[in-house]
Amino acid sequence: MKLYAIPVSLYCAKLRIVLRHKNLTWEEMPPPGGYGSETYKDLVPGGSLPALEHDGHLLSDSEAIAEYLNELRPEPDMLPGDSLERARIRERSRFHDTRLEPALRALFPMIGRQPDDMEISGQWGVLSERLTQMETLLPETTPCLTLADCGLPVTCLWIDELATHFRQDPILSRRLQAYLEGLNAHGAVSDELTQYTPRLKTWMASK
Ligand SMILES: N[C@@H](CCC(=O)N[C@@H](CS)C(=O)NCC(=O)O)C(=O)O
């Protein structure tokens, strides 16, 4: 199994949590020709990362890949429950990918600007609102690690880092912090965060 990834990519970290939790082994490499290259777009037309090569097939989009891995290696099941429970997991995972993470990503071009820039505080407000919405989707407890729980810890690590960088008030509520602690009890999450944190710090320092 080959994972095309770059070290700092959030979605690649999300997938590594799935791979780790499933106890799968994979080889990780940068996208052929480089990130954004035509060579890579010949393989993945949208040029996005991550992509997975397995059994001679190439798959892109972290959600599609995560569900594929869950079916390929059914234990531990990361999409458990009846139809409604599974739909709730997908709902939360899609909310993370299409609402929460993009609100965070919108701040990336502002890194390095003066913290009192009004655009930063405006976007910080948008991000805070998305987090509050995300919280309403969380289950009461974290009995097992689901597909919806793999992007969130990485995104929240970024939120903490950017709160310091932009000198903004912390926006991770107590409830969310408790939920994240529950996730961190899974080796797949804590191992990934241990490896990912220095990459994030190195990237920030380069900005
Ligand atoms: N929905 C996609 C989003 C992936 C994504 O945005 N990846 C970033 C890197 S973290 C990327 O490749 N951005 C450049 C692009 O989309 O061209 C997924 O879940 O895989």
The three-class DSSP label of residue 101 is helix
Q: What is the rounded distance in angstroms from the CA atom of residue 130 to the CA atom of residue 126?
A: 6
Ligand 1 atom with the smallest distance to the CA of 36 is 17
Q: Architecture of domain 83-205 in CATH?
A: Up-down Bundle (1.20)
Q: How far is the CA of 49 from the centre of ligand 1 (A)?
A: 5
2-72 domain in CATH 3.30.390.10? no
Q: Which protein residue has the closest C-alpha to ligand 1 atom 1?
A: 61
Rounded Cα–Cα distance for residues 106 and 155 (Å): 13
Question: Is the Cβ atom of 11 under 6 angstroms away from ligand 1?
Answer: yes
User: What is the 193 CA–ligand 1 centroid distance (Å)?
Assistant: 19
Same fold, 2-72 and 83-205: no
pLDDT by 10s per residue, the chain, length 207: 999 999 999 999 999 999 999 999 999 999 999 999 999 999 999 999 999 999 999 999 999 999 999 999 999 999 999 999 999 999 999 999 999 999 999 999 999 998 788 999 999 999 999 999 999 999 987 779 999 999 999 999 999 999 999 999 889 999 999 999 999 999 999 999 999 999 999 999 998
Q: Is 97 in the pocket of ligand 1 (CB under 6 A)?
A: yes
Question: What is the residue extent of each domain of the chain?
Answer: 2-72, 83-205
